[in-house]
Amino acid sequence: MAEMWISMGPQHPMTHGLWTLKVKVDGETIVDADPELGYLHRSVEKMGERRKYFMNTTLTDRLCYASSTTWTHSYVLAVEELMEVEVPTRAQYIRTIMLELQRLASHLMWAGAYMPDLGHITGALYFWRDRELFLNLLELPSGSRLLYNFMRIGGVKRDLPDGFEEKTERILKLFEQRLDEYADLFENSKIFRMRTEDVGKFTGSQAMNMGITGPNLRGCGVKHDLRVEDTYEIYEEIDWDVCTREAGPGYSDCFSRYMIRIDEMKESVKIIRDCFKKMPKGPTMSARVPIRASGEAFRRTEDSRGEALMYLVGDGSDRPYRWKIKSPMFTTISACPHYLKGYKLADIPAIMGSIDICIGETDK
């Protein structure tokens, strides 16, 4: 067969959103790739310049439907840095709990979306069944299941409801049992490993240069986690470890990127438990939150997919003068020709699925 271009997307089972991947194949081997974005561009940055600071949390919620709280939190942190607002300790604990619950839900959503990419429909239903548990938990304090709008500038929307800790503990216990069960179905399965091992390899230094961060970078064995390295909220007071995996010396493949997320989910469970243990009583909202701000500030947080960076410039009015969002997937997708070349056509879903694409945040 001669070389030919195949256009995958914007509507294709592989894409997990709206984007186009044009691949040039020689028979079944990928020779070249060209990603294209913009189908979901909503000009969030431009809209943000027309809205007041506190109104923008609705926009940040909608950046990524799988992980909306982490994006709002990232924005809220940057605004607090800009306005120099102190957040009460209890609010920080509640935020951490919500962030980790959201990370669990997001990783489960990813795992559920990854399994059909490999031809495993049952896996999707199992992981999405578990995601429902965490959506139920997130619903209790915030009142909604997908777009929470729970993080507010200077604190959180409201305190945790009664009995939240017991319910969370019950669900976490169930979830841990289930993760152990799934190990036999997925990571110990021969065919699953045949599909994921030695596929989509890149080294840690390549990944940093290409702008790949988060779990994908930790899957290369690089111990980099912004929750520790640019610490925020109360992550440094909690007992937990940054987990790393590597497929070989310094590089990652789809399997190590799968495993790092499973490890991270277990770590999140640990963080939530420890938060409940150490959580003090007190107010959940800062007493004084200004409306206007000037100067510039940025904060970066560890989103479920990598490094989320919010850069804000204020001109003294109640609206941001410039608001820039750094999405981890934007650069990761841009590098996809590098880690797709040389693999088979059937590896495209396996590789692109394993890096956990979310087009909402990518297209902004």
Per CB under 8 A, which of residues 212..231 are in contact with other proteins? 212-213, 217, 222-224, 226, 228-231
Nearest by Cα to 278 from 227, 235, 241 = 235
- Provide the minimum distance between the beta carbon of 270 and other proteins in the complex, in angstroms, as a whole number: 18
Single out the residue of 3, 13, 50, 292 in contact with other proteins (rule: CB under 8 A): 13
Interacting stretch for other proteins, rule CB under 8 A, among 36-44, 96-104, 263-271, 279-287? 36-44
**Binding of other proteins by 115 (CB under 8 A):** yes
**What is the rounded distance in angstroms from the CA atom of residue 39 to the CA atom of residue 259?**
31
In the window 149-188, what residues touch other proteins (CB under 8 A)? 185
Kind plus residue range of the DSSP H or E element containing 78:
helix 68-83
- The two most distant CA atoms of the chain are separated, in Å, by 69
276/330 with CB nearer other proteins: 330
Single out the residue of 209, 241, 292, 342 in contact with other proteins (rule: CB under 8 A): 209
- Provide the minimum distance between the beta carbon of 119 and other proteins in the complex, in angstroms, as a whole number: 3
- Provide the minimum distance between the beta carbon of 345 and other proteins in the complex, in angstroms, as a whole number: 6
Structure tokens at 128: 């999405």
117/267 with CB nearer other proteins: 117
Residues with Cβ within 8 Å of 303's Cβ and at least 6 positions away in sequence, in order, are 64, 67, 70, 71, 74, 214, 328, 361
- Provide the minimum distance between the beta carbon of 191 and other proteins in the complex, in angstroms, as a whole number: 5
**Binding of other proteins by 189 (CB under 8 A):** yes
- DSSP-derived 3-state class of residue 158: coil
Q: Give how far Cα 248 sits from Cα of 18, 161, 173, 220, 256, Å.
A: 33, 46, 32, 8, 9
In the window 254-293, what residues touch other proteins (CB under 8 A)? none
160/210 with CB nearer other proteins: 210
**Binding of other proteins by 253 (CB under 8 A):** no
In the window 233-252, what residues touch other proteins (CB under 8 A)? none
Number of H helices, E strands in the chain: 15, 10
- Provide the minimum distance between the beta carbon of 129 and other proteins in the complex, in angstroms, as a whole number: 6
Single out the residue of 75, 134, 150, 192 in contact with other proteins (rule: CB under 8 A): 192
Identify whether the C-beta of residue 331 lies closer than 8 Å to the C-beta of residue 37: no
**What is the rounded distance in angstroms from the CA atom of residue 201 to the CA atom of residue 173?**
34
Residue with the two structure tokens 């993080």: 151
**Binding of other proteins by 20 (CB under 8 A):** no
Identify whether the C-beta of residue 68 lies closer than 8 Å to the C-beta of residue 146: yes
**Side chain identity at residue 53, one-letter code:** Y
Torsion sign (Cα): 189, 194, 200, 202: positive
Interacting stretch for other proteins, rule CB under 8 A, among 86-94, 159-167, 276-284, 329-337? 329-337
- Provide the minimum distance between the beta carbon of 12 and other proteins in the complex, in angstroms, as a whole number: 7
141/214 with CB nearer other proteins: 214
In the window 293-322, what residues touch other proteins (CB under 8 A)? 298, 300, 307, 309, 311, 313, 321-322
Cis peptide bond N-terminal to 10, omega within 30: yes
**What is the rounded distance in angstroms from the CA atom of residue 292 to the CA atom of residue 320?**
9
148/202 with CB nearer other proteins: 202
